[in-house]
Amino acid sequence: MRISTTQFYESTNTNYQRTYSNVLKTSEEVSSGIKLNTASDDPVGAARVLQLAQQNSMLTQYASNIGTINTNIVNSETALTSIVDTMQTAREVIVSAGNGAYTDSDRLAKAAELKQYQSQLLGLMNSQDSNGQYIFAGSKSSAPPYAQNADGTYSYSGDQTSVNLAIGDGLVLPSNTTGYEAFEQAVNTTRTSSTLLSPATDDG
């Protein structure tokens, strides 16, 4: 079969245009570092790229959530350690106040000291993170979870909600410790009430 000169040039031109287009596309890929500019370039490849992008976004979020959980754990443990230390010191003050040689003036001084520890405990139970959120308030983290009552006990106005964060596919962990879980029962059971050290009334 003979090919006319016109057909030859048309075929050559078509091949040239195709080759030139491929060269331009390769050049774009090299310069941009991206093989696919539109989904029509490679539908299967485009779907895979989209899937990988979604997975990368999820992994980034998981990493962020893990960082948040670790930070919250450190904040909670720091506050709880300080609370335990403060309560232990307060107990020691109570024990020392049982000394029979103490005068009413001594007992008043000890009572004033205990009130300071009560204030410290309240501040620690209302600890905040770097964003100003109250770490023991559950999901009500925008307001202080604890208030001190007249009798020396503490009222909890937070909730018992665990704020769960995803750290993997189908895996979630609580990012917070509520005040109820941490120490509400213990603080009210072993509270250091200054009234215990009030001087006795002299009826004589």
Domain tally for the chain?
1
Global pTM exceeds 0.85: no
Kindly state whether residue 31 falls inside one of the protein's structural domains.
Answer: no
**Residue 20 burial class via C-beta count within 10 angstroms: exposed 0-12, middle 13-18, buried 19 and up:** exposed
In-domain check, residue 21: no
- What are the C-alpha distances in Å from 14 to residues 1, 22, 28, 41, 132? 20, 12, 21, 20, 67
67 within some domain: yes
pLDDT tens digits for the chain (204 residues)? 444 444 544 554 455 455 545 544 555 554 555 555 555 656 666 666 677 777 778 888 989 999 999 999 999 999 999 998 998 999 998 888 777 787 888 888 888 998 899 899 899 999 999 899 999 999 999 999 999 888 878 889 999 999 999 988 888 999 999 988 887 655 554 444 444 444 444 444
Domain that holds residue 84: 52-197
Instruction: Answer whether residue 161 is part of any domain.
Output: yes
